[in-house]
Structure 1
Amino acid sequence: MFDKKEIEILQKSLSRLQEGFSLPKWNPNEKWGDVEKILLEVARKMQNNYPYFHPQYAGQMLKPPHAVARMAYALAMYINPNNHALDGSKASSPMEKEAVSQMAEMFGWKNYLGHLTGGGTIANMEALWVAGKVHPEKKIVASELSHYTHERISGVLGLPFEKVACDTLGRMHLKALEDLLLKGDVGTVVVTLGTTGTGSVDPLTDILELQKVYGFRIHIDAAYGGYFTLSTALDNQVKEHFNNISYANSIVVDPHKHGLQPYGCGCILFKDPEVGRFYKHDSPYTYFTSAELHLGEISLECSRAGASAVALWATLQLFPLTADGPMGQGMNNCHKAAMDLYSKITDNNNFVPLHMPETDIVIWAPKDESLSQISKRSKALFQKCAAQNIHLALFNYPTRLLPDHWGSIKKDREQVTCLRSSLMKWEHVDWVDRIWEIVEKEAS
């Protein structure tokens, strides 16, 4: 599972890196005995983890970075560049610009403003910050199943925020949205393409039609689902929403989710490069070294890990962002794994699914007569499966959003606890049978 070949390649790469510096020999005189002792203790402590890296882990949204990303990140850390200003990131800033251009092109943008961030939260904060500058004092709205970060960030920015009700498929309800738009105080609609809870895709195509009438900004939160733009396996209607991403005003996507990157690596993109005027500032000691754009001039963050840019750039050399390449096939695998698991659930009368997966997240529960009993059995099955090294997750879903096929179940709670699987590893498509075999056995 932890291939020593990586260490061999990294050692060769370090030798190549050292050849580029003609400097006097310098030895920091490390006490390697102490270092080894500490690292062995770190390894022991790190054993206290679920096997997030293994396909039998099918719970939370945890995906191991690809070996090329791990090695490139480690290699860059010997330099430890800071992608704030060019004099601290002569190599890694150009690599970031190149990588971000490929991210933008994945969504059909050639003219844009964007950069990497420390994660999706900061990326979304920049999007809403700009939204507040374009439409000051106007409201931010997002679906009730959108990521909680939008409400929290709106509070931090001092912007009014309101949740939009969802339908029984976990998507933003169009009628509920239009009711809010009629009030005339909505500046930005956050459209989630792949919610982190259920994987649901908001109806972007229809929301774009509403935009023509009400003139609001559209921010796409594709932190989780963005890479599904490359998938050819999605339902036609869902695929249409992804195909229309290019009409949005801003997009957030996290390479540290489906993009095979270490945490934290987010990306914010703006369709109109002119929003860069909101970032305008000066620095007395970092921006004088070059007339070229310093990434810190278009970022709310100051110091940022250049190693993240190096790792993403290296990964994109191996896995270009094309539908007909390994990345596109990998996203197809994720969706197929989810559909395979969904089929097994629907074929078994002892379980009840929530709804057909639109991306790669599946929600289901052991069937029983009441929501209280279902919640109790879900928690018990979660524990039993974990004891067999099959790791799922738990998810609380609002009772009022349950689909019709849950109609005969007694609604004695406002929320029901279900089982949840994020099948986001490309290899999951080959492991669904084994996962289900143990789930089925432990549920009997």
Structure 2
Amino acid sequence: MDLRAWADRAVAEISAWQREFGDAEPHPDAVVPEARFTAGFDELLGRLRETYPFHHPRYFGQLIKPPHPVAAAGYLAAMLLNPNNHALDGGPATTELEREAVDSLAGMLGIPGALGHLTGSGTVANLESLFVAREIHPGAAVAGSAEAHYTHARTCHLLGVPFVPIPADPAGRMDVAALERQLRARRIGTVVLTAGTTGLGALDPVPEVLELRRRHGFRIHVDAACGGFFALIADDAPDGVAAAPFRALAECDSVVVDPHKHGLQPYGCGAVLFADPSVRRFYRHESPWTYFTSDEPHLGEISLECSRPGAAAAALWLTFRLLPPTPDGLGRLLRASRRAALRWAELLERSPVLSAYQRPELDVLAVVPEAGSMSEIDRRTEAILRGGMADGSAYLAAMEVTAGDLHRRGHRPRADRDRARILRGALLKPEHEHWIGTCHAAVEELARRAAG
């Protein structure tokens, strides 16, 4: 699709609709002279070239990629109107679009009928989930894996809730035996599980923790910000992912997912879903100047955020309309990313200068430069990162690991220091399926230079 043509049509259509209310000249103080705008806009475009090439498969560092042109077109069309999905009168059309899009997310995750809404990010979505957790179990602690995103411990600090880190097993998943020991030792009201950790894409053992819940009676919140869309290919197929953790989401109390990762959306677009719609009671508040146009519930009445972009809802709705969250829709793109990760793991098995930190569960891989000591691994990681960015051949990220982390996974560097950085790649783009050989060759060459 030609995004420029559709952007032009959006501007024309919205402008025509606005003129139906009568021509309204902009206030003279709001008018920017054309020459001044041109100069400022040219400067902006020049500054944007300082961004890394997120659009290209050579970039496979952080969990970042541009939105699909469909999402960009939908966002632009609604942004010209600038609806606010806090109250119905702020976004009457986009509120309905948000409800439909959230229903699609709930169906994808196996929790139809869930209460939910879009958020500015996964961080805000997780904040809302832990806020509800605190209200249901006041005074109780929240437990989460030591490999979970740092936002959970930070959010607990913000909410005044104790956070209990649970050790991870050698694959980066929550250690269920360690969790059970903590459940016996102290009052834990909510356990946070991660379906796709940010660092490794690891899947916590949701079914096993559900068994513990039957004995100990805690809530389960699943942070699926990174991995939630993999529910579309959770079929145990060779190019799919493990089915059990995703099927078990239907029995959990709340789930967070980020459409601005694998859902092809622009930032920020997170979502939170609650299996029990009655948790809306914890959001209850008064706003005598806001909720007056309808007795129907407003999205602001089930959200901690107030102003929320209706454009994000329009973008997600249009994307789902054209690329639905089904195995044959968006699932095809997830499967391509998964095949790319598996192919890279195969190439790493044959590399003399690189090795996989562990086998990927989704589309994220950590890669260890082959070296004899922790300090040399760290030095080579730095050289590969800087070298790839300097010549444009590969844009990677890094993560810090301990000597123990490496030893548990079969790597045996000399522990002349406790911590070192290793490489990390996120193959979010389906195009990586066709580029992974080129990307691997580039990283391998950078590793040879670093070694020699």
Same structural fold, with TM-score higher than 0.5 when normalized by the shorter chain: yes
**Does structure 1 residue 149 correspond to structure 2 residue 148?**
no
Query: Could you tell me whether the CA contact under 8 Å between 2:241 and 2:362 is conserved in 1?
Result: no
Distance in 2 between residues matched to 1:349 and 1:56, nearest whole Å = 22
Q: Identify the range of structure 1 (421-430 vs 410-419) with the bigger mean alpha-carbon deviation.
A: 410-419
Which has the higher mean CA deviation after the structures are superposed, 392-401 or 163-172?
A: 392-401
Deviation track 1:264-295 (CA, whole Å, cap 9, x = no partner) reads 11000000000001111121111011111110
Matched, 1:348 2:345: no
Q: Distance in 2 between matches of 1:68 and 1:110?
A: 25
The code of the aligned residue for 2:379 comes to K
> Which of 3, 7, 11 in structure 1 is aligned with 2:8?
11
What does residue 252 of structure 1 align with? 256
Q: Secondary structure at the match of 1:40?
A: helix
After superposition, give the CA deviation of every residue in 1:215-260 in whole Å (9 maximum; x if it has no partner): 1100000001000001144688832111211111000001111111
Residue 243 of structure 1 aligns with which residue? 247
Question: Which of residues 34, 37, 43 in structure 2 aligns to 1:35?
Answer: 37
1:283-339 CA distance string (max 9 Å, x none): 1111011111110000001111111111111111111010122x1011111111111
Give the Cα separation in 2 of the matches to 1:264 and 1:366: 34
Contact in 2 for aligned 1:168/1:403 (Cα 8 Å): no
Tell me: CA distance 1:405–1:81, structure 2 relative to 1, closer, same or farther (3 Å): closer
Map Cα deviations across residues 74-117 of structure 1 (whole Å, 9 max, x no partner). Answer: 11111100100011101110000010000001011222110000
Give per-residue Cα distances to partners, 1:17-43, cap 9 Å, x unaligned.
334342111232442322222111100
State, as a whole percentage, how many aligned pairs show the same letter: 42
Which letter does structure 2 place at the counterpart of 1:69?
A
Q: Secondary structure of the residue that 1:244 maps to in structure 2?
A: helix
Query: Could you tell me how far apart the structure 2 residues matched to 1:407 and 1:62 are?
Result: 29
Kept in 2, the 8 Å contact 1:119–1:265? The answer is yes
Q: Quick check: 2:365–2:425 contact (8 Å CA) kept in 1?
A: yes
Please give the secondary structure, in 1, of the residue aligned with 2:92: coil
Query: CA 1:409/1:322 → structure 2, altered by over 3 Å: closer, same or farther?
Result: same
Contact 1:140 1:187 in 2 (8 A): yes
Partner of 1:84: 86
Residue 141 of structure 1: how far off its partner (Å): 0.8
TM-score (norm 1): 0.96
User: How far, CA to CA, are the matches of 2:206 and 2:446 in structure 1?
Assistant: 40
Counterpart Cα distance in 2 of 1:6 and 1:27: 29
Which of 304, 309, 312 matches 1:308? 312
Q: Which residue in the other structure is 2:374 paired with?
A: 371
Matches within 5 A, 1:285-304: 285-304=289-308
State the secondary structure of the residue aligned to 1:199: coil
Cα offsets for 1:126-182 (capped at 9, x unmatched):
000000011111010111110000000001111111110011111111111111111
How well do the aligned residues superpose, as a CA RMSD in angstroms? 1.5
- Equivalent pair of 1:235/1:358 in contact (CA under 8 Å): no
CA distance in 2, matches of 1:234, 1:106: 21
CA distance in 2, matches of 1:30, 1:73: 24
- Aligned equivalents of 1:364, 1:56: Cα separation in 2: 16
- On the 8 A contact 2:340/2:433 being kept in 1, the answer is yes
Distance in 1 of aligned mates of 2:295 and 2:397: 50
CA distance in structure 2 between the partners assigned to 1:179 and 1:156 by the alignment: 26
2:402 — aligned with what? 398
* Structure 1: gaps spanning 5 or more residues: none
